[in-house]
Chains A and B, each alone.
Chain A
Amino acid sequence: MPRIKTRLNGLGQINPMLVIFFLSLSILLFFVFITLSNMIVQQIVSDFSGLIEAVRDSSVLEAIFLSLYSGFLATLISFILGVPTAYLLARKDFIGKRIIESILDIPVVVPHTVAGIALLTIFGANGLIGDPLESIVQFRDALAGTVVAMLFVSAPYLTNSAREGFQSVDPRLENAARSLGAPLWKAFLFVTFPLASRHLLTGSIMCWARAISEFGAVIMLAYYPMVGPTLIYERFTSMGLSESRPIAVLLILVTLTIFVILRMISSGWRRYDRD
């Protein structure tokens, strides 16, 4: 008997702390799962035809596509700007680095309607950036505005994940490559970048997800063209729950499918972590 007990303890099977932790996990999972699945199941059970109608409604599909597309553009820009930023923050020490890191994180804590107002002030026709660019690109009520709003709120997720990724790569590997004659860019591109790739993908998924779900900042800067969340809000205010829920369910189903696929791909990349 005592032997078995020690063994079990050793495996951490019935450790009371873990039991409590497992309970926390169950509550959290239940909370998220029940909220979303209840809506989806209710929609399918009580109003399946409404869902079919939403699938057939071209303006619904356009709005959802626009969400995915502008979210993708925001992620692409976040990637192009965020990866080099993250590398610098992970590898170099310089004056004011901590402050810079905090500033880059601010969009995560700012209420998004406030972010929207701030963005409109900067990117509006008379704004600091919007004014000089007025003849080239319009931000207010345009795709560019949607992308900028999404970029603002979602970029920190990619940058932070990429920084963690680069930090997890041993600098000695880079140094080894350089000592063998590789220039810095080659060491970055062929050693550090692939080793951090899973973090980069995870960060990109988070960034994209955040961009798609953004509403507060987008609606301030670009009410039109309507993205998914704006359309859901619109349908709710003008026509009520029965008209808006199918779109919400559809948006959840579409994004969920994409994210599950991406998650599977990213866990397939786990082998890079071990190298």
Chain B
Amino acid sequence: MKYSNILKITGIIAMVLVIFAGIGCMSDTGESTTEDNQGTDSQQQDDVVLKVFHAGSLTIPFKELEQMYEKRNPNVDVRREAGGSVATVRKVTETGKQADVVGVADYSLVPNMMMPEYTNWYSAFAKNQMVIAYTEDSKYSDEINKDNWYDILRRSDVTFGLSNPNDDPCGYRSQMVTQIAEIYYNDSQVYDDLMASNTAMDTTSNDGTYTVNVPKSENINPNSDKIMMRSMETELSSALEMGEIDYFYIYRSVAVQHGFEFVELPSEIDLSSVKHEDMYSKVKVKRGNGDLSKGKPIVYGVTIPDTVNQKEHAVGFIKLIHSKDGQQVLENNGQPPIVPASTNNINNVPKKLREYF
């Protein structure tokens, strides 16, 4: 009886704590909002909660930035929520969840999904590139390089991971990389062998441009002997660590942050370089909901949605992202900052941020 009682009591205590913590936070935020307006002394300014929703691949740099920001502003509690970029935007636009800052792995999601109702500006602040990540336990890891990676992935005993193109920019970018590889390596079977024959996805070509057709998620039917598909790219990291898969398509930043080995792909196909934008744009991905994404360099975007409660700190947090310290954090995590950052409309950018564009 003792142990189960302890479990039960712990459960009850935890519940009570959660409830009181919840009530506490609610009243705290309420208070601090009014205090901000009145500008009262800092003693009462406890626990301003700043809600940051962001792409899974921004988790580590944003965690470091969170710590930095909280250290400099002890009264602020930055709460991050990671998810697929599309899902992250939907949390704000469809479920009406309150967010102060939104960071996505494809800046174009902001103009496409959030403008004009939820914001009227974005900052494109950092870059990334696609790589093929692996560990030394992966099959043929001693052979793989940037010229033969697609042949290694083709081998029947090799398994690889993909994130869902319908949910996650990393997912549709994996499709783009594989399709552009056909052009670059002059091998017309790359996409067929890796994707089309193992899933219900396929490509149609027209005048040297290609469209990858992704069915609705439940109909993608990946061959589970060959491909492991998950909603978010970060879920695949643990699969690689466990040896569940040999390779996966991922951002360089995630590979760096997890300490994975990775194949650096030619810049013509890895979606990293503005110089090769023409090459990238030859491939489009049509997602299950009909949306079309065109191949282009990977650029992260951040904005302040209209749901903002803590405008001042939202601006402060974005300022930190763009500052020298923020740039250093991004650099260390394999997501080189874009300096100066670019935006759709400098006049809509909060004044305190304009110096970074």
Contact = CB atoms under 8 A, between A and B. Distances in A.
Interface string A224-239: 1010000101111111
B11 A126 contact: no
Interface string A218-256: 011001101000010111111111010000000000000
Nearest to A219: B231
Contact of A124 (B6, B164, B230, B242): B242
Interface string A153-190: 00000000000000000000000000000000000000
Contact of B217 (A99, A109, A127, A226): A226
B90 A126 contact: no
A151 interface: no
Interface residues of A, number: 36
Given A101-B3, A109-B7, A237-B231, A124 B84 contact: no
B229 interface: yes
B87 interface: yes
Nearest to A126: B243
Nearest to A98: B3
Interface string A115-148: 0010011001111000000000010111000000
Given A99-B3, A105-B4, A141-B222, A234 B242 contact: no
A144 to B, nearest CB: 11
B86 A238 contact: yes
Contact of B94 (A121, A138, A241): A241
B323 interface: no
Contacts of B145: none
Interface string A180-214: 00000000000000000000000000000000000
Interface string B242-256: 111000000000000
Given A126-B244, A236-B90, A238-B289, A120 B4 contact: no
Interface residues of B, number: 40
B244 A234 contact: no
Contact of A140 (B7, B11, B228): B228
B222 A224 contact: yes
A42 interface: no
B340 to A, nearest CB: 33
8 contacts: A105-B4, A109-B7, A124-B244, A140-B228, A141-B228, A234-B166, A235-B217, A237-B90
Interface of A: 59, 62-63, 98-99, 101-102, 105, 109, 117, 120-121, 124-127, 138, 140-142, 219-220, 223-224, 226, 231, 233-241, 243
